[in-house]
Amino acid sequence: MRLRTLIRAALPVLLFVSAASAQLQRKQLPVPNVAGYRTLKCDFHMHTVFSDGMVWPVVRVLEAWRGGLDAISITDHDDYHPHDPHVSTDISEPYRLAQARAEELGILLIPGIEITKGEWHFNALFVTDFNSTKRLELAAALREARRQGAFVFWNHPGWKRPEQWFPEIAPLHAEGLFQGFELVNGRTVYAGGFAWMAEKNLAVFANTDIHAPMTESEEDGRAITLVFVRNVDSAGVREALAARRTVAWMGGELWGQEALLRGLWEGAVRLDTPALALTQKQRSAALRFRNSSALAFRLRPAGWPSWLSAREIEIKPMQAAAATVSLAADAPAGEQSLTLDFEVLNCHTAPGKNLVVRLPVRLKRL
């Protein structure tokens, strides 16, 4: 992709006429809609040169388009500005500067900031006054965000010390000052906090917290927060976050409420072989799955009859998979209507607990 000419297109016409007809590519990253909701692929934690990031704001929009995202929030630090005095510290500018390109490309740009007080960082989305929390202490800043109607989540809860429900955090939550947390930040999973999703009624997030430019190889398996919206607009995202309808997705793994993960599975994968016909001497047959999504799934047979077995099955994004099921010598003759349970090893519904799916399969031995 040649970003240069496109970026120039926003500049004075006389200088850059030739850039007028450049072109951008976007991978589509299909993820199924669930239960009547539209599924949006989002990243709510990104930086630019306006705090400690390495890129101009519009780059985040172009990266989002290229990578298949639907919504992003640029969240520069309120109180950390290592590029000062070379770069303005007005953190409303990234939103303002990126807005036109976001509209043109159909990327939802959510206003946001990172409230940054020592080691405690919280992202506030939907703020209306970007610079209002500067130099406030943590609780005061969070109260200011609440006053503006922001949705607030706690960032990288295990940064520098293992994640736990810290004494500094508990009162903030008790006061209703935040409603979500980053289960995933970059490539790091703060698994120790996964129970909070249910126990504390918090929305889970997977964000990149990206500072440098995003390379193509970093795009593979990058952190994405799936948000299940009624309407594809800013208010829709907000309603979905408030209702905790999010799934954290990174590196092929998914974390979220069981109903949402089940919906993703059901929308993504289809069994092409609901009926298997074998001759009497055949001892194996192929189960064929078709995955129309960018999600991956790993299945492990669970509770199968003793005469039937299969290994773990990996269903790759946008691929079909043919997995062999084997019959033991004592497999019953004739026709069977089976329900085969699979544990979906990469779909996590609670600490130590994965999604289980059931597939009806008819087995006929001729």
Binding to its own copies (CB under 8 A): which residues in 203-242?
Answer: 209-218
Please provide the DSSP assignment of 292-318 as one string. Answer: -SS--EEEEEES--TTEEE--EEE-TT
Residue 142 tokens read as 């969070």
**Between residues 71 and 260, which has the closer beta carbon with respect to its own copies?**
71
Asked if 49 interacts with its own copies (CB under 8 A), we say: yes
Picking from 112, 175, 163, the residue whose alpha carbon sits closest to that of residue 138 is: 175
**Between residues 53 and 112, which has the closer beta carbon with respect to its own copies?**
53
Work out which of 38, 87, 338, 356 binds its own copies, going by CB under 8 A: 87
Site string for its own copies, 113-142 (x = CB under 8 A): ------------------------------
Instruction: Tell me which stretch binds its own copies (CB under 8 A): 35-43, 52-60, 248-256, 350-358.
Output: 52-60
Minimum distance, C-beta of residue 198 to its own copies, in the bound complex (Å):
29
Asked if 59 interacts with its own copies (CB under 8 A), we say: yes
Please provide the DSSP assignment of 128-196 as one string. Answer: S-TTTTTT--HHHHHHHHHHTT-EEEE--TTSSS-----TTTHHHHHTT---EEEEEETTEE-GGGTTH
Asked if 280 interacts with its own copies (CB under 8 A), we say: no
User: 303 with 340: CB under 8 angstroms?
Assistant: no
Asked if 366 interacts with its own copies (CB under 8 A), we say: no
Asked if 362 interacts with its own copies (CB under 8 A), we say: no
Work out which of 257, 309, 341, 359 binds its own copies, going by CB under 8 A: 309
User: 153 with 112: CB under 8 angstroms?
Assistant: no
Minimum distance, C-beta of residue 242 to its own copies, in the bound complex (Å):
28
Work out which of 40, 58, 295, 363 binds its own copies, going by CB under 8 A: 58
Instruction: Tell me which stretch binds its own copies (CB under 8 A): 89-97, 128-136, 143-151, 169-177.
Output: 89-97
Q: How far apart are CA 249 and CA 159, in angstroms?
A: 19
Q: Write the burial class of residue 165 (CB in 10 Å: 0-12 exposed, 13-18 middle, 19+ buried).
A: middle
Q: How far apart are CA 149 and CA 111, in angstroms?
A: 12
Minimum distance, C-beta of residue 301 to its own copies, in the bound complex (Å):
9
Asked if 304 interacts with its own copies (CB under 8 A), we say: no
What does DSSP say about strands 334-350 and 353-365: parallel, antiparallel, or unpaired? antiparallel
User: 61 with 103: CB under 8 angstroms?
Assistant: no
Instruction: Tell me which stretch binds its own copies (CB under 8 A): 129-137, 162-170, 312-320, 330-338.
Output: 312-320
The separation between CA 118 and the C-alpha centre of its own chain, rounded to angstroms, equals 27
Work out which of 35, 54, 170, 235 binds its own copies, going by CB under 8 A: 54
Asked if 254 interacts with its own copies (CB under 8 A), we say: no
Work out which of 35, 104, 201, 362 binds its own copies, going by CB under 8 A: 104
Asked if 1 interacts with its own copies (CB under 8 A), we say: yes
Asked if 78 interacts with its own copies (CB under 8 A), we say: no
Asked if 62 interacts with its own copies (CB under 8 A), we say: yes
Q: How far apart are CA 214 and CA 194, in angstroms?
A: 27
Asked if 316 interacts with its own copies (CB under 8 A), we say: yes
Integer angstrom CA distances of residue 103 from 96, 100, 175, 323: 12, 5, 36, 44
Minimum distance, C-beta of residue 354 to its own copies, in the bound complex (Å):
20
**Between residues 106 and 305, which has the closer beta carbon with respect to its own copies?**
106
Window 144 to 183, contacts with its own copies (CB under 8 A): 159-160
User: 194 with 202: CB under 8 angstroms?
Assistant: no
What does DSSP say about strands 275-278 and 353-365: parallel, antiparallel, or unpaired? parallel
Work out which of 200, 230, 288, 300 binds its own copies, going by CB under 8 A: 288
Amino acid in position 113:
I
User: 73 with 207: CB under 8 angstroms?
Assistant: no
**Between residues 246 and 291, which has the closer beta carbon with respect to its own copies?**
291
Amino acid in position 326:
S
**Between residues 8 and 143, which has the closer beta carbon with respect to its own copies?**
8
Number of residues near its own copies (by CB under 8 A): 84
